Amino acid sequence: MSTAKKFAGQTAIYGLSTIVQRLLSSLLTPLYTAAYLPKVYSIFSTMFAYASIFQAFLSFGMETTFFRYLNKFPDNKKQVYNNGFWVILTVSIGFLLLTVPFTHTLAGLIKIGKDIPQNDFELYIKYFIGILILDAWCVIPFARLRADGRPLRYGAIKVVNIVITFSFNIVFIILIPYWIKHQISGWQWLSGWYVHGWVVYAFLSNLIASFVTLLMLLPELFQLELKFDKAMARQMLIYSGPILIANLSYIVNENLDKILLGKLLPTNISEHEVGVYSACARLSIFASLFNQAFRMGAEPFFFSHAKNKNAGNTYSKIMDYFVITMCVMFLGVVANIEILKHYVNNKDYWVGLDVVPPLLFGYVALGVYMNLSVWYKLSDQTRYGLYISCIGAVATIILNVLFIPKYSYMASAWTSLVAYTIMMILSYIWGQKNYPIPYNLKKNLAYIVSAVIFVYLSFYVFNRNIFIGNALLLIFGAAALSFEWKGLKAIFIKG
């Protein structure tokens, strides 16, 4: 089996589990948008935006470091596993000590608008601290499953996690209110503690799912040993430091816009604007989904094939097909936006649909950047990842602060695109100087530019006409298939 075909197979398995996971998760968006007004939905995006920043800190860059050091110390994999987990455990204990005593202060900093009591935000924070700690303890066991080539177990646990989250949301948001309304046996007990329309039940559902996930990973956790190699750990921390800051910078690019919208807009509209933006941004889930599935398969693959003679050509070929796939998704979502908008199950949110094209294009640039980032990870030059991500984060902060007061969430959407494009360009330029990989630059740019032109025609010129949009999608897909047929045939038929 060719290496490209093996990579495609692994990514397909990760992709399938990710698709199932994300599809179930995505069903929560129409559930939430139907149950809550935009100002209430803004609580979700605000809390998850902050949580994602802390989540990056708690993982401490150890996931990528774990794969790199498995490659560097193939005869001492168990110690790499031990070190990675004990570092995260130590960081998580420190996080608990620094947050739990100060939930009141944190709630005052996080709270947006004027309608939600601060006591509620304090409770939200406590639930999220629990979610973050449990998820952090799962990072290295999940990474081990990927490194051991066990995508089916990995995917099954991830799917169970979202099934539990989804099921408890259904129970709390739909079934219990129905039970109480129709006074079914036992309704008095339920009505004694249930608070209708309280968003904390969504966070409780996540907490339960995270706890069950940790239980399912006990076989991997039981393989840990109370051994800590200080010398190796020191090397791992040096490697992971720039990765940590780069990850934090990436999270800033991805989530700071929602936080800044809540802080920079007038309090009488901030909750509504954050809710609209966050809900419409969910329509870019398909591009985000593929980026995540690609990363799941790519990271261990790239490290394991780094010493192969034709590794550079393999990475280049993967980039070609990645760009085409992302462009097809870009076009496909925009072409069918008039159908997909019903995914946000409330017309009050549709005013924000204009954010979708720039956000999708931003995910194309982000995906290419993630693909390009292989060079500094393989060459142990992770400081470049730090530089690039920090530059992107600075651009995100400056542009949002400058333009949100005037343009609201449209400023955030275009800022996301600009920041990821800057990161993509910098990674390519520095990568070709320090770790050259023979990417097909002209061909990939031709696909991206063509997709942008078709999206502009579909969304703006033809006013989101579904028939014209899908005709343009078919033209693009047919042209790409024609140009790439020989290479695809070699991989999947002869490979």
Buried b or exposed e, range 46-83, using 16+ CB within 10 angstroms: bbbbbbbbbbbbbbbbbbbbbbbbbbebeeebebbbbb
The single residue listed with the structure tokens 């870019």 is 284
Give 307: exposed, middle or buried? Use CB within 10 Å, 0-12, 13-18, 19+: exposed
Of 24-33, 158-167, 362-371, where does mean pLDDT reach its minimum? 24-33
Any long-range contacts for 292-295 (C-beta under 8 Å, 24+ apart)?
292/18, 292/22, 293/11, 293/14, 293/15, 293/18, 293/19, 294/11, 294/15, 294/322, 294/367, 294/370, 294/371, 295/370
Residues 6+ apart with CB under 8 A from 370: 291, 294, 295, 298
Q: Say how far apart CA 16 and CA 324 lie, in whole Å.
A: 19
Least confidently predicted of 98-102, 301-305, 359-363: 301-305
Helix (H/G/I), strand (E/B), else coil: 465 = coil
Segments forming the whole domain that contains residue 91: 3-494
pLDDT(371) > 70: yes
Contact between 140 and 3 (Cβ < 8 Å): no
pLDDT higher for 315 or 357?
357
Averaged pLDDT for residues 444-473? 94
3-state secondary structure of 115: coil
3-state helix, strand, coil split of the chain in percent (to 5) is 85, 0, 15
pLDDT at 252 over 50: yes
How many of the other CB atoms lie within 10 Å of CB of 148? 14
- 306, pLDDT greater than 80: no
**Tokens 């097809």, located at residue:** 328
Residue 495 confidence (pLDDT): 47
For range 424-449, the mean pLDDT: 91
Q: Whole-angstrom distance between the N-terminal and C-terminal Cα of the chain?
A: 6
Name the token pair of 403.
């333009």
Q: Are 300 and 312 in contact (CB under 8 A)?
A: no
Please report the pLDDT score of residue 414 as a whole number: 95
Tell me: pLDDT of 133 over 50.
Answer: yes
**What number is the average pLDDT over the span 282-309?**
67
What pLDDT, on the 0 to 100 scale, is given for residue 304?
62
* Rounded-to-integer distance, Cα 87 and Cα 84, Å: 5
C-alpha pair distances (Å), 248 with each of 60, 350, 445:
9, 31, 28
Longest distance between any two alpha carbons in the chain, whole Å: 71
Q: By mean pLDDT, which of 6-20, 70-84, 283-297 is the weakest? A: 6-20
| Reported pTM | 0.69
- Give the pLDDT band of residue 395 (cuts 50, 70, 90): very high
Distances (CA, A) of 398 to 170, 195, 258, 387: 40, 41, 14, 16
Mean of per-residue pLDDT scores for the chain: 83
Cβ neighbourhood burial of 21 (10 Å; 0-12, 13-18, 19+): buried
Give exposure, 372-396, as e/b (b: 16+ Cβ within 10 Å).
bbbbbbbeebbebbbbbbbebbebb
Q: What is the DSSP letter of 101?
A: G
Q: Is the pLDDT of residue 8 over 90?
A: no
* b (16+ CB within 10 A) / e for 432-463: eeebebebeeeebeebbebbbebbeebbeebe
- Best-predicted range by mean pLDDT (31-45, 279-293, 317-331, 366-380): 317-331
* pLDDT average, residue stretch 107-133: 80
Range in 93-97, 380-384, 459-463 the model is least confident about: 380-384
Phi, psi of 73 (to 5 degrees): -125, 65
Q: 90: helix, coil or strand?
A: helix
Contact between 282 and 421 (Cβ < 8 Å): no
Per-residue pLDDT tens for 253-267?
A: 777 888 888 888 887
Number of domains in the chain: 1
pLDDT at residue 494 greater than cutoff 70: no
> Using 50, 70 and 90 to split pLDDT, how confident is the model at 344?
confident
pLDDT at residue 196 above 90? no
pLDDT band at 1 (very low <50, low <70, confident <90, very high): very low
Q: Report the pLDDT averaged over residues 407-425.
A: 93
pLDDT confidence band for 469 (50 / 70 / 90)? very high
**How far is it, in rounded angstroms, from Cα 76 to Cα 272?**
53
Q: Which of 84-88, 186-190, 489-493 has the lowest mean pLDDT?
A: 489-493
Q: Is the pLDDT of residue 271 over 50?
A: yes
Token match 């010493």: residue? 307
The CA-CA-CA angle for residues 148, 299, 476, to 5°, reads: 125
The region that residue 197 occupies, defined by phi over 0 for left and psi between -120 and 50 for alpha, beta otherwise, is: left
pLDDT tens, residue by residue, 198-237: 788 888 999 999 999 999 999 999 988 888 888 888 888 8
Query: What local confidence, expressed as pLDDT, does residue 130 receive?
Result: 93
Query: Apex CA 67: angle with CA 66 and CA 69, to 5°?
Result: 65
